[in-house]
Amino acid sequence: MVKISFDRDLCLGCKTCELACAAAHSRVNSIIGAIKENKISRIRIKKVSGKIKLEQCKLCQNPKCIDSCPTKSLSKEENGTVKVNYLTCTGCGLCKEACPFGAIVLGPFPTLCDRCAESDEPLCARACPTKALKVKAV
């Protein structure tokens, strides 16, 4: 399992991680592809009350998003990430409401971090210019 740690003191709020994520999940792996495909970043950097906050799937041991799904369209993978079955998901948003970390975006189906399962490491962490995001194997 791969966890991503976040050091808010190092984060500039530049959102390079968000751009890298959206590009990585586009069909052509580029920023232009992400824009054309309207890809949603699976990681978000937000300022709340003047403090920088990371919104990303925390790989909960017992994910509330899975428990809340009325069609059982969410499942936990061996690597700890949550997978969405797009054939059965209705996009009702109950998973988004259940997530205590604000990690799910509907667009129109749930979008969750998969830790860039097809890459060597999460590309958000690789792209971070200040290394505020660090990958930890657990």
* Position 137 in a domain: no
Reading the block at residue 24, the tokens are 């990585």
1 assigned to some structural domain? no
Q: What is the CATH number of the domain that holds 91?
A: 3.30.70.20
Alpha-carbon dihedral sign for residues 16, 21, 77, 120: negative
105 and 64 assigned to the same domain: yes
Q: Are residues 82 and 117 in the same domain?
A: no
Residues 33-55 pLDDT 10s: 999 999 999 999 999 999 999 99
Domain that holds residue 66: 57-110
In a domain, 99, yes or no: yes
Does residue 62 sit in the same domain as residue 105?
yes
User: pLDDT at position 5, please?
Assistant: 94
Within a domain: residue 104? yes
- 80 and 101 belong to one structural domain: yes
Do 52 and 116 lie in one domain? The reply is: yes
| 13/52 same-domain check | yes
Question: What's the pLDDT tens digit per position in 99-133?
Answer: 999 999 998 999 999 999 888 889 999 999 999 99
**Encoded amino acid at 71, one letter:** T
Domain count across the chain: 2
Residue 88 pairs in a beta bridge with none
- Percent of the chain past pLDDT 70, that is, above it, reads 100
Q: What predicted TM-score, i.e. pTM, was given to this entire model?
A: 0.87
* Residue 17 shares a structural domain with residue 36: yes
The answer on pLDDT for 2 being more than 90 is: no
Task: State whether 76 and 104 are in the same domain.
Answer: yes
**Structural domain contains residue 84:** yes
DSSP tally for the chain: helices H, then strands E: 5, 8
Q: CA distances (Å), 93 to each of 16, 73, 115, in order?
A: 27, 12, 22
Task: Decide: 36 and 55 in contact? Cβ < 8 Å.
Answer: no
Confidence of residue 79 (pLDDT cuts 50, 70, 90): confident
Answer for the pair 13, 47: CB distance below 8 angstroms, yes or no.
yes
| Mean predicted confidence (pLDDT) in 68-89 | 95
